[in-house]
Amino acid sequence: MAESTIITGQFVRISQTPASIGERLIALAIDYILLGFYVFSTLALFSRIHLPSDFTMLFFFTIVYLPVLLYAFLCEMFNQGQSFGKRLMNIRVIKADGSTPGKADYVITGQWAKKAHAEAARYGQANVVASSADKTFTYIPKLDPSTFTKDADYFYICMNNTIYGTVYHELPDTGDVPLVADISSCILSRPIDVSKFGVLYAGAQKNMAPAGLTVVIVREDLIGNAMDITPTMLNWKTHADNGSMFNTPPCYTIYIAKLVLEWIKNEVGGLDKMYEINKKKADLLYGFLDSSELFKGTVVPEDRSLMNVPFVTGDADLDAKFVKEATENGLVNIKGHRTVGGMRASIYNAMPYEGVEKLVEFMKKFEAENK
């Protein structure tokens, strides 16, 4: 049969040879034979069992007829659409974009989790197991393991939510399903037990280096499982096999990352010490917010981020006045994200404790002048 060309959402052209009519008919015949054998053997078994008459039809329907009726659905749910006949004939079931259907669970805790979920939904079944959108992402939702997809390919979280100022202090228990985390805005802010994850990835621009570098930490057994439509440059195996030198890397950005790592190790004293400093900075700012009569933090206390601290006065005009006067006093980029409003202090590793002290001093002064 002639090749069929598929163009993916990323404009990757893939040529595949569809199964012939004969191959499909043979696969269908195998399925019918298997179903017929199942029905015959089950009826033969029931004929030897003396059941009350009122149970006979119920058992016949649930044990014999229902699995046959739902055969295609069960193959779709548990075998990526591939029936036993298709498997024996080596016929794969793919989506219109050329990919094999997959499943993943997502927890939606902000804009980046929403974007990640939307991208995943283009390639497979992306299930939302929990979301904090109902309260503008001001908390990390409590998770019910019974809602998790047991045979999911992975389970996704955005560990620290830059815009909304929330962070996971406890990781979800996903069992054998690999946990995937975006740690762009909390990498190097505290120690992370890498062994609890299948994949960790981070843009370097928050705590490591200028924008343009992405760090990906992948469990070795997860390398080499890319979908057929995955472009070569986005296949982790490509980079693992080439020592991350498949293409010319962003040398200057990597060099800056090297300097930052050396600074944390040699001058700060390691990630444990970095965490102590970050917690001290956050405690100072949150402590003032909790005692202030004018300013209020927007995140529930148990889910507060050490890196991003959003807060408001409760009055949009007063918020705008604060941002303006803060900028005039050298406290720049304090305006909150457009989807939230108010203010946001991003106190990443590079922000010294003295910088947070200056912010708190100005907030106290502003509160005294605007009561």
∠ CA 215-219-224, rounded to 5°: 95
Q: Is 182 a catalytic residue?
A: yes
For 105, phi then psi, to 5°, come to -105, 140
Of residues 151, 145, 25, 143, the one with CA closest to residue 91: 25
The rounded distance, in Å, linking the Cα atoms of 146 and 144 is 5
CB-based contact 128:144 (threshold 8 Å):
no
Catalytic residue among 112, 281, 303, 319: 112
CB-based contact 39:69 (threshold 8 Å):
no
Q: Is 112 a catalytic residue?
A: yes
The rounded distance, in Å, linking the Cα atoms of 312 and 322 is 10
Catalytic residue among 153, 206, 281, 319: 206
Q: How far are the Cα atoms of 16, 30, 114, 231, 234 from residue 10, in angstroms, in the given order? A: 17, 37, 19, 9, 11
Of residues 168, 171, 183, 191, the one with CA closest to residue 302: 168
Catalytic residue among 182, 281, 303, 319: 182
Q: Which residues are catalytic?
A: 112, 182, 206
